[in-house]
Amino acid sequence: MLTACLTFAAMAARRALARPAVKRRIQQLTGVAFIGFGLRLATGH
């Protein structure tokens, strides 16, 4: 039963993450995170 629930959840997540709008938002958030980490590294905090 647990395996079936996990499989269903994984399939739903895959469909959601495959949408272009979601992909774009993930890329934007990743870019912001990298810029933030770079600024933190550059300022020495």
Which DSSP symbol is given to 18? T
The angle, 0 to 180 degrees and rounded to 10, between the axes of the packed helices 2-17 and 20-43 is 80
Residue 34 has a pLDDT of 97
Residue 12 has a pLDDT of 96
Q: Where are the alpha helices (DSSP H) in 1-45?
A: 2-17, 20-43
Residue 41 has a pLDDT of 96
**CA separation for the pair 4, 12 (Å, rounded):** 12
Q: What is the pLDDT of residues 1-45, one digit of tens each?
A: 999 999 999 999 999 999 999 999 999 999 999 999 999 999 986
